Amino acid sequence: AGLPTRFVMGANTEATSLHGSWNRKIFAEAFRRLGIALEVRVAPLKRLELLISKGEIDGEMSRAPAYGLQHPELLKVDVAFAQVVFSLYALKSIPGVSKLEDLRNTNYQGIYRRGVLLCEKELTPLLPSRQLTATNSALQGVAMLKLGHGDFFCDVSSSLENEQYSQDFAKFI
């Protein structure tokens, strides 16, 4: 059966974002060399998971290794072209917290981006569900912090970097 003529890739970043444009350039070149037309569909991580399970997209541009472990049915292609760091972001200091375990038995309110499995996996055993909120985007998470609806936001560095250079973030600050 040879190679397909078209491949639909899911992305959770817009083409205009810092990492979104970089990812598209890399994938476009790889698929060009294979002679395959590349289409990119943008959606939040959780929706991308649904789209791939329904066969509406063929793959995703970037996921952490933890995602691959939870989805062994997917073919994982290891390509390291960006360093991503999972972090907690806050607008003010969080006294008494220097490592994740310090969050246990506190009243801090946490926010994480839906689909960022490492944040969800690490925070869920530390904080009761009433102290954790999931958002669809990094911008929503930062907005919730600014409005005082949380003490910290967990996400990957690339999401916050994308938002820092977006027009929406510039208007927000």
For 142, residues 6+ apart whose C-beta sits below 8 A from its C-beta are: 89, 153, 160, 163, 169, 172
**pTM attached to this predicted model:** 0.62
Instruction: Give the phi and the psi of residue 54 in degrees, each rounded to 5.
Output: -90, -5
Residue 61: what pLDDT?
A: 87
Residue 36: what pLDDT?
A: 95
- Walk along the chain (173 residues) and give the pLDDT tens digit of each residue: 678 899 999 998 888 877 788 889 989 999 999 999 999 999 988 899 999 999 999 999 878 777 777 888 888 877 766 677 888 999 999 999 999 999 999 999 999 999 888 899 999 999 999 999 999 988 899 999 999 999 999 998 878 776 776 666 656 55
